[in-house]
């Protein structure tokens, strides 16, 4: 009986020792991980991105923070043309995410990009929208030239890519001059969307991804790609003057990841990079 008790006691002691060893190892591992995180340098990245990327990039910021807790992402959203001008004037920007190739090409020609980082990441569509409860009888872009619409919201073509696409579409349909008499011009695509949502404009031209973010509007028509000169492409690149080039490159790489792709597709973008 005593021998059996001693055997049981020995087994218990062995199990207890193994358990304590495991706890100790886990504690050391946790301590090591904590130490690694604490030793990582805190970094703040400034990302200038097209207004149409607002919702998608907001979600990606949350996801990236979980993977890189030491990196803080600050966004500057606006029309691609205005963001381009800010970079030219020396704004502190690490990454530029444009809604068209024109603005990115201009920065490249001026030597303001790290050329090797430039990629065409996303695609989009151009759509005609109206308020969700609208009773307008128009069926497509061509009807804008002969309808009784009083206000048509468009992006400012000089600085807003969707405004440039809008003018190309209307020119192809030979109705630009008629539409101009009814047009109100917005500072970016989100303002176009807002005007249609509120009823300040009866119709507007935005990206398909913008229409998808709002329950207050509905899509009347999607513009055929033959109506505008170049496909809607969203290029992204690291700015040469960035003080955080390695960290910015890491974030750019994340934008091409499967996790980021799922977010972009969710918000209505097509993913160009394979």
- What's the pLDDT tens digit per position in 223-246? 999 999 999 999 999 999 999 999
pLDDT at 12: 45
Would 14 be classed as within a structural domain?
Answer: no
CATH of the domain at 143: 3.40.190.10
> For 180-218, what is each residue's pLDDT tens digit?
999 999 999 999 999 999 999 999 999 999 999 999 999
CB neighbourhood size of 25 (10 A)? 10
Quick check: is 4 in a domain? Answer: no
Cβ–Cβ < 8 Å for 182, 149: yes
Residues 115 and 236 in one domain: yes
Indicate whether 6 belongs to any domain: no
CA dist 196 → 110, 128, 157, 188, 217 (Å): 37, 10, 18, 13, 7
Query: Is 236 in the same domain as 211?
Result: no
3-state secondary structure of 173: coil
Mean residue pLDDT of the chain comes to 90
- What pLDDT band is residue 147 in, cutting at 50, 70 and 90? confident
> Residue 266 belongs to what domain range?
43-123+232-271
Q: How far apart are CA 67 and CA 85, in angstroms?
A: 32
Residue 36 resides in a domain: no
Which comes out higher in pLDDT, residue 109 or 2? 109
Domain-embedded: residue 61: yes
Do 167 and 103 share a structural domain? no
**Burial (Cβ within 10 Å: 0-12, 13-18, ≥19) of residue 272:** middle
Q: What pLDDT is stored for residue 22 in this prediction?
A: 55
* Percent of the chain at pLDDT exceeding 90: 82
Which of 227, 242, 262 is the last residue before a domain boundary?
Answer: 227
DSSP SS3 for 225:
helix
The pLDDT confidence band at residue 25, using thresholds 50, 70 and 90, is low
**Are both 66 and 109 inside the same structural domain?**
yes
Residues facing 141 on adjacent strands: none
Q: Which of 106, 221, 233 minimizes the C-alpha distance to 170?
A: 221
d(CA 235, CA 210): 18
Instruction: Kindly list the strands in the beta sheet with 126-131, ordered across the sheet, starting from the edge strand earlier in the chain.
Output: 183-186, 152-155, 203-207, 126-131, 217-222
**Residue 19, pLDDT above cutoff 80:** no
CA distance 157 to 198: 22
For residue 37, what pLDDT band results from cuts at 50, 70 and 90? Answer: very low
Give the C-alpha separation, 47 to 55, whole Å: 14
Q: Do residues 62 and 95 both lie within one domain?
A: yes
- Is residue 5 a part of any domain in this protein? no
pLDDT of 273 > 60? The answer is: yes
Number of independent structural domains in the chain: 2
């Amino acid at each position: 009986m005593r021998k059996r008790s001693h055997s049981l006691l020995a087994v218990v002691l062995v199990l207890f020792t193994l358990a304590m060893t495991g706890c100790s190892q886990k504690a050391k591992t946790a301590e090591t991980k904590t130490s690694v995180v604490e030793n990582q340098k805190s970094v703040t990245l400034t990302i200038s991105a097209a207004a149409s990327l607002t919702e998608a990039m907001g979600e990606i910021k949350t996801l990236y923070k979980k993977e890189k807790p030491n990196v803080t992402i600050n966004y500057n959203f606006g029309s691609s043309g205005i963001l381009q001008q800010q970079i030219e004037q020396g704004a502190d920007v690490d990454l530029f995410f444009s809604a068209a190739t024109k603005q990115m090409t201009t920065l490249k020609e001026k030597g303001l990009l790290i050329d090797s980082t430039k990629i065409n990441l996303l695609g989009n569509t151009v759509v005609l929208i109206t308020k969700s409860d609208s009773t307008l009888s128009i069926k497509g872009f061509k009807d804008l030239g002969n309808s009784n619409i009083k206000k048509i919201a468009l992006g400012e073509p000089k600085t807003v890519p969707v405004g440039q696409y809008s003018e190309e579409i209307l020119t192809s349909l030979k109705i630009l001059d008629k539409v101009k008499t009814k047009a109100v011009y917005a500072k970016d695509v989100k303002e176009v969307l807002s005007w249609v949502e509120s009823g300040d404009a009866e119709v507007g031209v935005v990206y398909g991804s913008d229409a998808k973010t709002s329950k207050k509007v509905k899509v009347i028509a999607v513009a055929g790609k033959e109506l505008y000169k170049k496909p809607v492409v969203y290029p992204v690149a690291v700015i040469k003057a960035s003080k955080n080039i390695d960290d910015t490159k890491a974030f750019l790489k994340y934008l091409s990841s499967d996790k980021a792709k799922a977010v972009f597709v969710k918000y209505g973008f097509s993913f160009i990079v394979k």
